[in-house]
């Protein structure tokens, strides 16, 4: 898959960064960079799907992704339930139109957008089916939903209850497909995010799991070793692969789902 060119954002006004709570990832923090880049790859690789389109990002969080989309889209609206996040996006990313609202009752008209983007959000929602039906409602016929979520098989292996306290229900590829189809979508692609060669080398370097090495240090509440911090800070989206195949071994699921044309 070809590399996307990510347009630069215009200069933003002075703003306070959003706090790092564990519920969302934010840019510009060395120890958080692995997770930020792992989220960012879905935006970068699927950005061309938004070119010239009217786009909704449902659950826009810090807003960096909506701003990336704004560089290629006709118009981008972000919806987030958190008032602080909404204020932050308005201040930092002025080319994104922000609305505070509930994802289970999207504050948009029927058939008003071409693309809905929902990356790393559905696992936080209590009524996932209702949210997906809302996505179908606001999409025009032939519209596209781009959605990503942690793969339950690798993110919380062997557990019914998610390890992340902010997650309500995690999904595997079959469960995500079933939810999308039940909501009225056709799933055209199911892709997975995997470690590329450089991250596999870091897995080996850090005791078999680069992820576990980061989690252990975070839970310890102590300063990170310099080499771990440097390795995390150096991660880029090019260190991840987004591809079909071997889906159950993927770190995150990325689905492309379509609303039927009339």
The predicted-structure confidence for 118-136, as pLDDT tens digits, reads as follows 999 999 888 999 999 999 9
Q: How far does CA 62 lie from the centroid of its chain? A: 11
Q: Scan for tokens 């118009």, then name that residue.
A: 75
Whole-number Cα distances in Å, 258 to 144, 218, 235, 247: 5, 39, 32, 20
Q: Scan for tokens 């696992």, then name that residue.
A: 123
pLDDT band at 232 (very low <50, low <70, confident <90, very high): very high
Dihedral sign for Cα 51, 29, 31, 23, please: negative
**What phi and psi values does residue 100 have, to the nearest 5 degrees?**
-85, 125
* Secondary structure class of 224 (helix, strand, coil): coil
pLDDT (tens digit, 9 = 90+) per residue, 162-210? 666 667 788 999 999 999 999 999 999 999 999 999 999 999 999 999 9
Strand order through the sheet with 252-258? 97-100, 75-80, 54-58, 113-119, 139-150, 252-258, 186-195, 240-243
Whole-number Cα distances in Å, 238 to 41, 52, 194, 226, 261: 8, 25, 11, 23, 35
Pull the structure tokens for residue 135: 């996505």
Q: Is the pLDDT of residue 44 over 70?
A: yes
* Secondary structure class of 104 (helix, strand, coil): helix
Among left, alpha and beta (phi > 0; psi -120 to 50; other), residue 73 is: beta
Predicted confidence at residue 206, as pLDDT, reads 94
* CATH number attached to the domain at 30-194+244-259: 3.40.50.150
Give the residue from 69, 18, 83 showing the smallest Cα distance to 40.
69
Count other Cβ atoms within 10 Å, centred on residue 208.
Answer: 9
Percent of the chain with pLDDT over 70: 85
Kindly give, in sequence order, each residue whose CB lies less than 8 Å from that of residue 2, ignoring residues fewer than 6 positions away: none
Question: Structure pTM?
Answer: 0.88
């Amino acid at each position: 898959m070809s590399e996307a060119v990510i347009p630069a954002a215009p200069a933003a006004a002075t703003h306070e960064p959003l706090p790092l709570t564990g519920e969302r990832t934010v840019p510009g923090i060395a120890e958080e960079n692995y997770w930020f880049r792992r989220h960012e790859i879905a935006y970068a690789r699927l950005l061309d799907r938004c070119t010239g389109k009217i786009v909704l990002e449902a659950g826009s969080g810090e807003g960096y992704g909506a701003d990336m989309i704004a560089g290629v889209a006709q118009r981008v609206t972000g919806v987030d339930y958190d008032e602080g996040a909404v204020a932050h996006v308005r201040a930092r990313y002025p080319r994104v139109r922000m609305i505070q609202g509930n994802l289970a009752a999207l504050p948009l008209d029927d058939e008003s957008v071409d693309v809905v983007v929902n990356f790393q959000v559905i696992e936080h929602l209590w009524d996932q089916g209702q949210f997906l039906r809302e996505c179908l409602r606001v999409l025009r016929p032939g519209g596209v939903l781009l959605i990503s979520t942690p793969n339950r098989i690798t993110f919380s292996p062997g557990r019914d209850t998610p390890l992340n306290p902010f997650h309500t229900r995690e999904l595997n590829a079959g469960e995500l497909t079933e939810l999308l189809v039940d909501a009225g979508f056709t799933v055209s692609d199911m892709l997975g995010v995997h470690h590329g060669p450089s991250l596999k080398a870091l897995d080996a370097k850090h005791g078999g799991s680069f992820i576990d090495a980061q989690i252990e240090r975070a839970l310890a509440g102590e300063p990170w070793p310099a080499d771990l911090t440097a390795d995390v800070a150096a991660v880029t989206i090019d260190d991840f692969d987004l591809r079909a195949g071997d889906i159950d071994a993927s770190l995150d699921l990325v689905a492309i789902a379509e609303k039927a044309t009339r």
